[in-house]
A and B are shown apart, each in its own frame.
Chain A
Amino acid sequence: MQYQSHKIAQNFYTASVLLFLVQVVVGLIAALQFIWPDFFILNFNTIRTLHINALVVWLLMGMMGATYYVVTEESESELWSVPLAQLQFWATVIAVTAVVAGYIVMGLNPQTNTEIFGTRALNEGREYIEAPRWADVLIVISVLLFLFNCLMTVFKTKKFTAVQGVLLGGLTFLALMYLPGMFYTNNMVKDQFWWWWVVHLWVEGSWEMIAAALLAFMLHKLLGADVKVLAKWMYIETGLVLFTGILGLGHHYYWIGTPEYWLWVGGVFSSLEPIPLLLMVWDAFRTTREVRGVVPNRIGLYLTVAHAIFNFVGAGLWGVIHTLPQVNKWTHGTQITTAHGHLAFYGAYVLLIIAMIYVTLPSIKGVKEFNQSRGFQSFWWMTVSMIFIVIAITGAGMVQTYLERLLGLDYVTVKASYNLWFWIFRALFGVGFLVGVLILVKDILGFGQKPAA
């Protein structure tokens, strides 16, 4: 069945992968700035802000596109309002462009970052949520319009499926958890306390809910697996994600000026966080094994299973190695965190969105068969490069922890001399990753234009 609403999903996908390309280009600039700080006209702080904001926004846009698709398909109906969805898409694109322009202006001349209404005009100077207050308001409006449209579709058709429930529940949770980042406090400890509510409850709470729902959706769509069984495991996975993840927030409250009991709360609950992620891997394999016959969309399945595996390895294993307070005391604030961040986001969310795109794009474009080799090429370029990037940063983090934290060497000495080779490796594999992204963008933008080879 072809829907008008699917075109909206496709628009979101296109914007997504283009922003992904921007993210990786600025990421490469940032990697080179570790070797030559003056490499680019913009300083590292602006480049880094762009790198991470582009990531967050393209993943969110990917999730929005995916959700518009899922809601349409599960409800077997057009969206409640297609023009509203179109408006929401363009409003988002314009707002994002304005925010990025603001960051660049601020980066070229910090004095432009004046104070208005008790907050900053162009860049709030708060990691990840640098977007100024006026942009926060636009983001909230955009997300509310999006949620309203999806929920109205579900209420109109009254098809309350399990996948839609968890997906829209996760998105509502996501929207609510943006609010604790939208007020100013002159206490840095309280500032970071609420800031972690946003950051942690997004990536280790609501986003993982969305991931569990999309995983169930993809396994059903690709393999025709039993919806009831998928739904049961989805509830168990999401439940465990939240039981461990919500109080796992404590692992960010060890050293920021918060009471000591968080060492226990964070240590115990966050150590359990890999369990639901391992369950998702098992779920993906079990479902795949049960299927008889050929799966036509091989690349879609490949990416789905890869997402489950790297979600566990990146978010689970690379997270749990430094989550205990006894270890974290030495590694907190080192490159170990950077390594975890890279592999976790790649596995948990980058592969998830790319998988969703490959799983749904054939039916959006109305193609039965398509050339899958470019998808595989981009997957291997990106994955192998990311593994080596993460190995390089993990090595840098281990050297840094040992020399700086244990032996007491100066931060700058360790970064500039002992870790130089790691920065060079990281930048080289960054080029490899960029190659993978270029192949991906080309494949997605030209998807289905040529007949299968």
Chain B
Amino acid sequence: MSTNAAKNLFIYGSLFCFLVLVILTIDTMGKLDQRAPEITEKVAAGKKVWHKYDCIGCHTILGNGSYFAPDMTKATERKPKEYLKKFLLDPRAIKQDSAMPKLGLSEEEADSLIAFLEWTSKVDTNDWPPKPILASATAGRTASTGQMLFQKYDCAACHQIQGLGGTAGPDLTHAGLKQPDVEWHIKHLKDPAGTVRNSAMPNFSHLGDEDLKALAEYLITLR
């Protein structure tokens, strides 16, 4: 190949590739609105809060960001909103060892940010992040009523047992040793904030006495 031929190939080939990119971009832009829910005023305000506090300087969203803190794309999918709000306002009041400092968000900012994160959780991301294989493998395994309730209400989103589960709330591996009283657990499930100071856990009084008892009985078996 002569130098001139190489030069022409480089120039026209690159321009052609760029043209293809532009065409694909136009096509994509036309499709994006159908792949995500409508952007309300609150969602738009939440996105501005996201930028104001430079959240992406620690977190990732849609998998892009700083890898220092958890991905936020599906944050609202498993964590209760009451918890997220209290946590955003003062992370270390809720979780003493949290790496996240108090950034000074107002209540209104926290609400909009949560609305924004609810929006991202509903974006069609081609099934990302994938469901962990262990979660798929153990789903539907036979268990006690209390254990099934634990799964049904996704308590593991915030609580760990034997290393598996979230770290937003206290580790429950030895929950039965720390608090062996069934009645205490029932009372706590009905009104967490009234039982434990600064608790950000939502209340589960809607479960009904029978289920609450079953759940509490399961919790005291954790030793």
Q: How far is the CA of A419 from the CA of B89 in the complex (A)?
A: 29
- B151–chain A nearest beta-carbon distance, Å: 13
Q: How far is the CA of A39 from the CA of B222 in the complex (A)?
A: 36
B62 at the interface (CB under 8 A from A): yes
Could you tell me the distance between the alpha carbons of A337 and B65 in the complex, rounded to whole angstroms? 10
Distance in angstroms from B35 CB to nearest chain A CB is: 5
Contact with B along A259-270 (1 / 0, CB 8 A): 111110100000
Minimum CB–CB distance from A156 to chain B (whole Å) comes to 23
Residues in B whose Cβ lies below 8 Å from that of A404: 132
Residues of B within 8 A of A144 (CB): none
Are B14 and A243 in contact (CB-based, < 8 A)?
Answer: yes
Instruction: Say which residue of B56, B58, B101, B103 sits within 8 Å of A126 (CB atoms).
Output: B56
Q: Is B147 an interface residue (CB 8 A)?
A: no
In the complex the two chains form, is A242's CB within 8 Å of B165's CB? no
Residue in A125, A187, A192, A265 whose CB lies within 8 Å of B64: A192
**Chain A residue nearest to B128 in the complex (CB):** A255
Q: Are B64 and A333 in contact (CB under 8 A)?
A: yes
Q: Compute how far the CA of A113 lies from the CA of B99 in the bound complex, rounded to whole angstroms.
A: 22
Given contacts A236-B10, A238-B10, A256-B63, contact A187 B1 (CB under 8 A): no
Alpha-carbon gap, A233 to B135, bound state (A) = 52
Does B142 lie at the interface of the complex (its beta carbon under 8 Å from any beta carbon of A)? Answer: no
B32 at the interface (CB under 8 A from A): yes
B1, A232: Cβ atoms under 8 Å?
A: yes
The A interface, classified by DSSP as helix, strand, loop or mixed, is helix
Cα distance A186–B45 in the bound complex, in angstroms = 8
A191 contact set on B, CB distance < 8 A: 47
**Which chain A residues (348-400) contact chain B, with CB distance < 8 Å?**
none
Q: Flag if A410 contacts B53 (CB, 8 Å).
A: no
| Contact indicator B128/A254 (Cβ below 8 Å) | yes
B54, A115: Cβ atoms under 8 Å? no
CA distance A258 to B25 in the complex (A): 10
How far apart are the CA atoms of A408 and B67 in the complex, in Å? 17
- Please, what's the 1-or-0 string for B103-128, where 1 marks a CB less than 8 Å from any CB in chain A? 11000000000001001100111111
A-B contact count (CB 8 A): 218
In the bound assembly, the distance between CA atoms of A259 and B51 in angstroms comes to: 25
B17 within 8 A of partner (CB): yes
Complex formed: what's the CA distance from A48 to B1 in Å?
A: 46
Give which listed residue, B47, B55, B67, contacts A186 with CB less than 8 A.
B47
From A235, A261, A330, A411, B10 is in contact (CB under 8 Å) with A235
Is B96 an interface residue, CB under 8 A from the partner? no
Chain A 152-174 near chain B by CB (<8 Å), digits 1 or 0? 00000000001000000000000
- Would B164 and A258 count as touching, CB distance under 8 A? no
User: B52 is contacted by which of A120, A162, A188, A408 (Cβ under 8 Å)?
Assistant: A120
Q: In the assembled complex, how far is the CB of residue A43 from the closest CB belonging to chain B, in whole angstroms?
A: 6
Docked pose: A258 CA to B103 CA in angstroms: 32
Please give me the residue from chain B that is nearest to A330 by CB atom: B130
B197 at interface, CB cutoff 8 A = no
Complex alpha-carbon distance, A259 and B25, angstroms: 11
**Contacting pair A189 B35 (CB below 8 A):** yes
Interface positions of B from 32 to 57, Cβ below 8 Å from A: 32-33, 35-36, 39, 43-44, 47-48, 50-57
Residues 112-168 of B contacting A (Cβ, < 8 Å): 116, 119-120, 123-135, 160, 163-167
CB distance from B34 to the nearest CB of A (A): 10
Distance between Cα atoms of A124 and B47 in the complex (Å): 11
Residue of A nearest to B8 (CB): A235
Whether A247 sits at the interface, judged by CB under 8 Å, is yes
Is the C-beta of A44 less than 8 angstroms from some C-beta in chain B? yes
- Is the pair A405, B58 in contact by a Cβ cutoff of 8 Å? no
Across the interface, which residues of A come within 8 angstroms of B129, CB to CB?
255, 332-333, 405
Q: If the complex has contacts A189-B35, A333-B71, are A124 and B51 also in contact, measured as CB distance less than 8 A?
A: yes
- B166: which A residues are within 8 A, CB to CB? 410
The listed residue (A44, A110, A120, A332) touching B63 by CB distance below 8 A is: A332
CB contact under 8 A between A34 and B68, given known A189-B36, A232-B1, A258-B32: yes
The reply to whether the CB of B207 lies closer than 8 angstroms to some CB of chain A is: no
Query: With the chains together, A105 CA to B21 CA distance in Å?
Result: 39
Q: Is B24 among interface residues, defined by CB-CB distance under 8 A?
A: yes
A316 smallest CB distance to B (angstroms): 19
CA distance A97 to B122 in the complex (A): 40
Q: How far is the CB of B52 from chain A (nearest CB, A)?
A: 5
Q: Does A10 contact B (CB under 8 A)?
A: no
A338 at interface, CB cutoff 8 A: yes
B196 within 8 A of A: no
Does B7 belong to the interface (CB within 8 Å)? yes
Interchain CB contact (< 8 A) of B62 among A49, A189, A329, A338: A189
Q: Does A441 contact B (CB under 8 A)?
A: no
Say yes or no for B195: interface residue by CB 8 A criterion.
no
A296 at the interface (CB under 8 A from B): no
Chain B's nearest CB lies how many Å from the CB of A117?
13
Which residues on the A side are within 8 Å of B134 (C-beta)? 406-408
**Cβ of A46 < 8 Å from any Cβ of B?**
yes
CB neighbours (8 Å) of A83 from chain B are none
Is the Cβ of A235 less than 8 Å from the Cβ of B9? yes
A residues neighboring B (CB under 8 Å): 33-34, 37-38, 43-46, 48-49, 106, 110-111, 113, 115, 120, 123-127, 130, 162, 186-193, 228, 231-233, 235-236, 238-239, 242-243, 246-247, 249, 252-263, 265, 329-330, 332-335, 337-338, 404-413
Question: Closest 8 interchain pairs by CB?
Answer: A45-B57, A408-B132, A125-B51, A333-B63, A255-B128, A239-B10, A37-B99, A235-B6
List 7 interface pairs A-B (beta carbons < 8 Å), by A numbering. Answer: A110-B53, A111-B104, A115-B48, A262-B24, A406-B132, A406-B133, A408-B164
